[in-house]
Amino acid sequence: MSEPTVIARKQGRAGRITLNRPKALHSLNSDMVKRMTDALVKWEVDESVELIVVDHAEGTRGFCAGGDVRMLAESGAKDGKEAREFFAAEYRLNTLIKEYPKPYVAIIDGVTMGGGVGISVHGDYRVATPNTLFAMPESGIGLFPDVGGGWFLPRLPGELGMWLALTGERLKGEDVLAVGVATHFAEETDGLADALCEAGISALDGLKTEAGASFTDHIPEIDACFAKQSVEEIVSCLQAGSDWAQGQAAGLKKKSPLTLKIAHRQLHEGGQCKDFRENMRMEYRIASRLVLTKSFHEGVRAVLIDKDDKPDWTPGSLEEVRPVILNTFFETLGEDELKFIGEK
Residue 226: name the closest of 201, 260, 200 by CA. Answer: 260
Kindly list the catalytic residues: 67, 115, 138, 146
**Mean pLDDT value of segment 228-246:** 98
- Give me the percent of the chain exceeding a pLDDT of 70: 97
**Mean pLDDT value of segment 237-248:** 98
- pLDDT band of 344, cuts 50, 70, 90: very low
- Distance in Å from the first CA to the final CA of the chain: 39
Residue 340, pLDDT above cutoff 70: no
The pLDDT value given to residue 152: 98
Q: Return the ∠ at Cα 98 (arms to 96 and 104), rounded to 5°.
A: 90
* pLDDT tens sequence across 31-42: 999 999 999 999
> Measured between alpha carbons, how far is 341 from 344 in angstroms, rounded to an integer?
9
- Give me the percent of the chain exceeding a pLDDT of 90: 93
Tell me the whole-structure pTM to 2 decimals. Answer: 0.95
240-248 long-range Cβ contacts below 8 angstroms, 24+ apart: 242/218, 244/218, 245/218, 245/221, 248/163, 248/167
Using DSSP's 3-state secondary structure scheme, residue 117 falls into helix
* pLDDT tens sequence across 56-112: 998 778 899 998 898 999 999 999 999 999 999 999 999 999 999 999 999 999 999
The residue ranking higher by pLDDT, 315 or 58, is 315
The pLDDT value given to residue 337: 65
Residue 148, pLDDT above cutoff 80: yes
The pLDDT value given to residue 333: 87
* pLDDT tens sequence across 316-334: 999 999 999 999 999 998 7
Quote the distance between the C-alpha of residue 33 and its chain's center. Answer: 14
Instruction: Calculate the average pLDDT of the chain.
Output: 95
Cβ contact 262:329 at 8 Å: yes
Query: Could you give all domains of the chain from N- to C-terminal order, each with its CATH number?
Result: 1-344 (3.90.226.10)
> Measured between alpha carbons, how far is 18 from 250 in angstroms, rounded to an integer?
39
Residue 335, pLDDT above cutoff 90: no
> Phi-psi bin for 66: left (phi > 0), alpha (psi -120 to 50), beta?
left
**Mean pLDDT value of segment 158-175:** 98
Using DSSP's 3-state secondary structure scheme, residue 65 falls into coil
Cβ contact 194:186 at 8 Å: no
**Mean pLDDT value of segment 198-223:** 97
